[in-house]
Amino acid sequence: MPITYTSGEQIEVYRFNLPITVLVPLLALFLQAFLSWKLPFFSIFDLPLLVVIFFAVARRSQVGGMLTGSIIGLLQDSLTQLPLGVYGIANTVVGYGASSLGVRLDVENAGARFLVTLFFFAVHEIVYFSVARGLVRLDLRWNWPHEIAAAFANAVLAVLLFAMLDRFKQRT
Amino acid sequence: MENLLTRYRNVSILVGVLFAQILGLAIQVRRVKENESTLLIRVWTVTAITPLEKGIVGLESGMGNLWHNYLYLRGVRKENRELKEEIQQLRLNEVRISEDAQQAHRLQVLLGFKEQYLSKTVAAQVIGSGGSDRSRVVFIDKGEDAKLLAEMPVITADGIVGKVVRVFAHSAQVLLVNDENSGAGAILEKSRLQGILKGTPVGGLILDKVMSDEQIQPGDRVLTSGGDGIFPKGMPVGTVTQVSKGKDSFLNIRIKPAADLSKLEEVLVITKQEEKEPAVADAGNERASDILSRRLPSVPDQPPAAPAHSGAVAPKTNATTALPSASTAAHSFAGAQPASLAGSATTAPKLSAPKTAVPNPRATQPPANVPVSAPSTTENPGNGQTVVKTITDDATTSVPVKPIVKSPASSANPQSKPTQPESDQQ
C-alpha cells in the first residue's frame, strides 16, 4: 500500500515561495469560476479544495493548513451569493485534517493522493452540508450518485494536479 | 488552563477559527434579512478575478470575430439572402403586432391600466460564474460604472435570466432564476393562472403555488406576472415540461427556461422601467384604420394646375413605385384595407379586390417603408380600369383598379394631399 506510517522526522516538510502561495489559489479560483461557466460539467470539480489539500499535506503544519483552508474557503465564498463562511468552515476543517494526516503519513505517491483526496472530499461535503443546512438554512439535497461521482472525479484530477504542483515545492 | 491551551494549541486555534467563522455566518444571515452591505473580502476577490475573466472573454471574442468576420465567410451570401427574406416577413409581422399593440393600448386607456416601459437597458457580457453547482450566479462585465444597482432584472432576447444581487466597480453578480434562493412572479399564458417561479437545488425551475385542480398542459408558455416588482410583466419565462401532483394541494410544475441559462453570453440589464398611465392623446383619438391608412401606398400630390378631369387618370407610375413588397401588394390593396376607410376617404380611388385568397388581412398589411423588391407593373386594358400586376408567392395576381375620382373640394385645394386608396368591401 502506498500509504506508509513514518515518524515526523522522516517526513520531508516543504515550503512554497510567496508568489506561488498567492497565485496558485487565485488561479484555482479563477479557473473554477471561468471554466464552470464555459464548461458546465466542470462545476463537479472543486479546484480550490484540491489546492487546500495539496498545500496542507505538503507543509505538514496544522495551523498553516487550517489558515490556508480558511482563506481559500472565504475567497471561494466571495464568488457565490451565499454568506461568507460556508466554504470557509469546510475548507478549514479539511486543511487541518489534511495537514494532520501529512504529519503522520507519507502521501507523496499517486495512490495515496487518490485516497486522501477521496476521503477529504467526503469530509468537505459533509461539513459543507451540515453548515449550509444547519446554519444558513439552505435547502440542499444530498445526492449519492452525484457525490460519489464528484469524489472520484476530484480524486483523479488531484493526482494530475498535485504532480504539476510538485514542481513548485521547495525543501526546507 | 494555560497548560491545556499550550498542549492543545493547534486544536485551540482550529476551534477559534471555526468559532469566528460561525459567528460571522450568524451575523451575515441576520444581515441578509435587513440591509446587507457588500463585505470587503467579496470586493477584493471579485476585483482580483474579474479582470482576468474580462481579458480572456475579450480575447476569445476578438479571435472569434477575426475568424468569423474576416476569414470564415463561407455561406455568407446565402445567409444574407435568407436574412433579407426573413426581414421582409418580420416587417409584415411587425405591422400586425403594431396594430395589436395599438388596439391593446386603446383598451388599456379604457380600462385605466398602467403600462410598464423598458425605457433603458444596458448590454453586458457574462464573464464568469460563481464556480459552484450549488450557487447559480454569473458575473457580468458592467457594474457601478454603468450605473447598475442591486435588484435590477437581467434578461436576454429569449427570456428572463435573473436579477443583479451585488454590484462592484466594474462588474456585477447576477443571481439566476434557477437558483434555489431565486423567486419571481409568473403567470401561465393561456390560463392566466399565477404562481411563484422558484429554482430548485439541482438547478431546475418550478412554478409553485398553483392549485392542483387547475388544468395545465406541458408546452404551456409561462410569462412574468410583474407581481414581484422586479421583472416587467409579460416577459417569457419558459414552457411547462411536466405537471404532477405536489404537496399541500398544489401542483408540481416543471419549467424549461426560455433563455439558455447554461450558455449565457450577452445579457441585458433593465436599468430603468417607467410605469405610466397611457395618455389618451397617445392613441385614444386615433383609430386603427388611421394608423393603417398611413402605411398604405399613397398617391402623390397632384400638380395644382391639373384639370379636374385629370383625376380620372389612374396613378400609373405611382401605383408602381408606391407599391409595397410585391409578394404582398395584392393583399394590401384589397384584403388589408380596413373597412372604416370607406367612410373616411371620400375621394379615394376605388380598388377592387383580387381573387386571390387572403387568409389574414392584418397579417399581410405591409408597412410604409417596405421596399419594392419585385417588379410590379401597371397596365390600362382600355376599359377604364387600371390593372396592377403583382407577383405573389404563388403566381402573378392582377388587381383591377378603378380610376381616381377627385372631389371638387380636394381639387380646389392644391395643398390637400390625395387621399388613400380605398378597397371595395368584399
* A positions 153-172 inside 8 Å of B (CB): none
Sign of CA dihedral A147, A150, A154, A155: positive
Q: How far is B262 from chain A (nearest CA, A)?
A: 7
Cβ contact B357:B314 at 8 Å: no
Confidence check: pLDDT of B354 > 60 = no
The number of angstroms, rounded, from the C-alpha of A89 to the middle of its chain's C-alpha atoms is 12
| Chain B residues lying within 8 Å of A22, measured CB to CB | none
Chain A residue with the nearest C-alpha to that of B174:
A81
* Mutation site for B-interface testing, chosen from A36, A37, A52, A139 by largest number of B Cβ within 10 Å: A37
Q: A123 in contact with B at a CB cutoff of 8 Å? A: no
Question: Which has the higher per-residue pLDDT, B245 or A163?
Answer: A163
Cβ contact B308:B411 at 8 Å: yes
Q: Which of A34, A85, A86 sits opposite B56 (nearest CB)?
A: A34
Q: Which of B32, B126, B132 sits opposite A80 (nearest CB)?
A: B132
B205-208 and B183-188 beta bridge pairing: unpaired
Give pairs for B314-317: CB < 8 Å, separation 24+: B314/B349, B314/B378, B314/B380, B314/B385, B314/B386, B314/B401, B314/B403, B314/B404, B315/B349, B315/B378, B315/B386, B315/B404, B316/B378, B316/B380, B316/B386, B317/B378
Question: Per the CB < 8 Å rule, is B18 touching A62?
Answer: no
Q: Residue B9: its pLDDT value, please?
A: 86
The alpha carbon torsion through B95, B98, B99, B104 (nearest 10 deg) reads 160
Question: Per the CB < 8 Å rule, is B180 touching A138?
Answer: yes
Chain B residue with the nearest C-alpha to that of A73:
B21
Architecture of domain B44-71+114-276: Beta Barrel (2.40)
Alpha-carbon distance values, B408 to A127, A167, B311, B347, B350 (Å): 92, 98, 11, 9, 17
As given in the structure block, the three cell numbers for residue B415 are 395643398
Using alpha carbons only, give the angle B363, B368, B370 rounded to the nearest 5 degrees.
Answer: 75
The mean pLDDT value for B51-66 works out to 85
Q: Residue B114: its pLDDT value, please?
A: 62
Torsion angles phi and psi, residue B61, rounded to 5: -65, -40
B167 Cβ partners below 8 Å, 6+ apart? B38, B143, B144, B148, B149, B150, B173
| Whole-angstrom distance, CA of residue B244 vs CA of residue B252 | 5
Confidence check: pLDDT of B344 > 50 = no
Using alpha carbons only, give the angle B12, B16, B18 rounded to the nearest 5 degrees.
Answer: 115
Beta bridge partners of B242: B254
Q: Residue B278: its pLDDT value, please?
A: 58
Lowest mean pLDDT among A94-98, A112-116, B57-61, B277-281: B277-281
Q: Which residue has the cell 426573413?
A: B86
Q: Which of B21, B24, B135 sits opposite A92 (nearest CB)?
A: B21
| Whole-angstrom distance, CA of residue B99 vs CA of residue B154 | 28
The mean pLDDT value for B29-45 works out to 70
Which of B21, B216, B357 is closest to A83 using CA atoms?
B21
Q: What is the mean pLDDT of chain A?
A: 89
Chain A residue with the nearest C-alpha to that of B203:
A140
- Kindly list the domain boundaries of chain A, sorted by start residue: 4-171
As given in the structure block, the three cell numbers for residue B384 are 377604364
Question: Per the CB < 8 Å rule, is A84 touching B41?
Answer: yes
As given in the structure block, the three cell numbers for residue B317 are 407610375
Fold of A4-171: Arp2/3 complex 21 kDa subunit ARPC3 (1.10.1760)
The mean pLDDT value for B148-160 works out to 91
- Kindly list the domain boundaries of chain B, sorted by start residue: 44-71+114-276, 288-423
Confidence check: pLDDT of A30 > 80 = yes
| Chain B residues lying within 8 Å of A37, measured CB to CB | 126-129, 138, 264
* A positions 55-94 inside 8 Å of B (CB): 62-63, 66-67, 70, 74-76, 78-89, 92-93
Q: Residue B353: its pLDDT value, please?
A: 39
| Chain A residues lying within 8 Å of B29, measured CB to CB | 83, 135-137
Confidence check: pLDDT of B272 > 50 = yes
Lowest mean pLDDT among B1-5, B242-246, B389-393: B389-393
Question: Per the CB < 8 Å rule, is B134 touching A132?
Answer: yes
The mean pLDDT value for A132-151 works out to 88
Confidence check: pLDDT of B287 > 70 = no
Question: Which has the higher per-residue pLDDT, B73 or B362?
Answer: B73
ipTM: 0.86
Instruction: Give B182-216 pLDDT, tens digit per residue.
Output: 889 999 988 888 999 999 888 889 998 888 777 88
Question: Which has the higher per-residue pLDDT, A47 or B96?
Answer: A47
Question: Which has the higher per-residue pLDDT, B273 or A50?
Answer: A50
Instruction: Give B101-138 pLDDT, tens digit per residue.
Output: 887 877 777 666 666 666 788 999 999 998 888 889 99
Question: Which has the higher per-residue pLDDT, B109 or B139?
Answer: B139
Q: Residue B95: its pLDDT value, please?
A: 83
Q: How far is A169 from chain B (nearest CA, A)?
A: 24
Question: Per the CB < 8 Å rule, is B128 touching A33?
Answer: yes
Q: What is the mean pLDDT of chain B?
A: 70
Q: Which of A33, A86, A140 sits opposite B49 (nearest CB)?
A: A33
Confidence check: pLDDT of B357 > 50 = no
Category of B302 on φ-ψ map: left (φ > 0), alpha (ψ -120 to 50) or beta: beta
| Chain A residues lying within 8 Å of B53, measured CB to CB | 30, 33-34
Instruction: Give A87-141 pLDDT, tens digit per residue.
Output: 999 999 999 999 998 888 777 889 999 999 999 999 999 999 999 988 888 878 8
Question: Per the CB < 8 Å rule, is B130 touching A83?
Answer: no
Question: Per the CB < 8 Å rule, is A30 touching B49?
Answer: yes
